[in-house]
Chains A and B, each alone.
Chain A
Amino acid sequence: MKILVLLSQVPDTTARIAFTNGNTQFDANGVTFIVNPYDEWYALVRALELKEAAGAGSVTTITVGGADTEATIRKGLAIGADEAVRVDAQPTEALQVAEQVAAYAKDKGFDLIIAGKETIDHNGGQVGGMVAELLDLPYIALASKLDVAAGKATIERDVPGGVEVLEASLPLVLSAAKGMAEQRIPNMRGIMAARTKPLTVVPAAATDNVAATTSFELPPAKGAVKMIPAEDAGKLIELLHSEAKVI
């Protein structure tokens, strides 16, 4: 089984969110960057588990980004990916990233391509579906469970009010949500091995230029919380009705 995992670099989940250059750029000053948690905890770890269960195959990660993403990419190798690819382009928006990934993946014969359900910075959840369309493959978004047997994948996904169990033949593109696997902490052997595993830099392909984020805004500061004494708790319901007018 040959698996490709999409790996993005994002600011740490607890990073201070601020902008610079007239609110046109994320302020990376003092921010730690990590592997997007959905890519790392769910997509990559499940890919490794499937490879281990099959006793054969390979797991490749692909990242669209500059040389500054290589430390993050090595983390994926330390967790257990066999090799990593970096497409040498600054990511600008979803279709551009998807076109870079599709350009790399199209002749490689991957059985599974797995992305995280979204990145925690842009929250679009678009790249997996776009890659699937560009490669003419089926795509299942928000998979919380994935099993593969005899060339067929069985997938569970949470839907409003329940769980849907789906079946599709490989090759297939998926986006991974919580439940698919448990986070793996790289051990010392993995970290040492990651230093010598192949990290191939491929040149950027030509892509379409269809959209761009032009500016950012921070939400207005929240007003002070109105405290209600515990013995008078029922007043909350009255206030939500008569003052906030939401119930």
Chain B
Amino acid sequence: MLSGFARAAEPELLEPEKAFRFAARLKDARSIEVIYQIAPGYYLYRDKFRFTLGPAGVKPGEPHFPAGKKHRDEFFGEVETYRNSLSVLLPFDLGDTGVPAIQLAAESQGCADIGVCYVPYEHKAELRLASLSSGATRSDAASGVLSGMGLETDDARVARVFEGGFWLAIASFFGFGLLLSFTPCVLPMVPILSSVIVGTGRPVTKARGFLLAAVYVLGMAMTYAVAGVTAGLSGALLSVVLQNPWVLGAFAAVFVALALAMFGFYELQLPVALQSRLADASNQFHGGHTAGMFVMGVLSALILGPCVAAPLAGALLYIGQSRDVVLGGSALFAMALGMGVPLLAIGASAGALMPKAGPWMETVKRFFGTLLLGVAIYLVSPFIPVSVQMGLWAALLIVTAIYLRAIDSLPAGAHGFQRFSKGIGIVALIAGLAYLVGALSGGRDILQPLSGLRVTALGTAPYEAPFQRINSSSELDDRIQAAPGRTVMLDFYADWCVSCKEMERYTFSDERVQARFREMTLLQADVTANNAEHTALLRRFRLFGPPGIVFFDREGREIQGLRVIGFQPADRFVAVLDQALNFRR
């Protein structure tokens, strides 16, 4: 019962700091530009903004708002709201305070179209006047009074780092890079680096190994520094680009390609012409090979970029807002150095940790190939449904397990490593099976793949409700007109929509529900393809996507406020159907 409620109609809502993204910068010596990026389906009220400036003595002027959208509200009378983006100009008067910086506290309040409101939220920013000439400001997208105890995003956490001084920021970013080096993102660089160092054919000394690794890391760091400077110059654009599904998808494809190379499907090599040029160069002067390492470093930074996108986006976002080129470049340089520390360690140990290239390299390459595939799945995971994610993880884990000989029996005199690898294989196999079951049973939590089973214990055969398919807004109108005097139910469906399938399986199959279904016209819009018609249809009902069920009364008008969003158990759904059938305007 309780789990039913926990899963019931709770639409996906953005956290306030994501629904209303805030930024502030000094426009000139007398005014601040306050910017809000408002997510689609959300809006802010004009009369709810409050701007206060500190320290004492700094006086805010009358803020200048652009024209918003006006409408009459039955409670509040004439109200003006903003959608998409909003830029407010706030003049200020320093008086004779002579302060080096102004603190801005901006309070805003907004709501979402689905009929909920956010509590007033306070954003804070510090704007440095001394650096006005270079356009630098500092802002802090972290939380404010009423939501101060809310969760901080990665972005905000990174942006906060800049509150301290320059060197503190540099040190923090170095530490941040170190932390990142322990993520699966940096690990794939290890075999690339080691194969380059080990595979030179020349005996590698520790010093030379370290030098090569250092050059490689330097190349990587320079690339990030360039990214930082670009962000400083171009504003927040870069971070937006980095979080775009297409970009992440493309990088996931690169990772898959790299993984396939690791598995030996093909040989990953520089073009022969380039290779021989490099070889010539390195024969002629000592630095040739070093230059190659530098280029490798640059390339790997580009490849790794999206993998560390969340923290990187935070840093770039801040740098973009501050337009502080020096700080931006230095901070990202330091971060890349931090990320390079383990690589340096491997380089320095060239003699010790890295034996000559041999069959063992194959094992390691396959291991990293697997990791690369994992990273690819991780990259695209925000854009694909959980059940597909689970399916992918299941495939990866199970195939890996088979390669680790999880189901082959051990030879009698198996040595330690074989036993160890079989153990790992079995763990991978079981985890993979769990994910497979999760994917097939509609699990919705990637961390609890089997949670879907809890409600599936009573398996019933799927029930085919007599839905008529519609594909567009005009088709919907036709069908509603063709059913005069009947209550109409419109169900939005997509193949990837888990709760739609649960509704079909557990709720629509209930006899009480079916009895009521016979009294109404049932329409279903399958928006799996998500074409322009589908988008228009969803927009007409202000839905972002399935699940969503809308009802129309006997005159063909939508029954406002009677929507079902998300899974509903039969008991409650029957009540909703009764309400729809008995609705009289």
A binds B: no
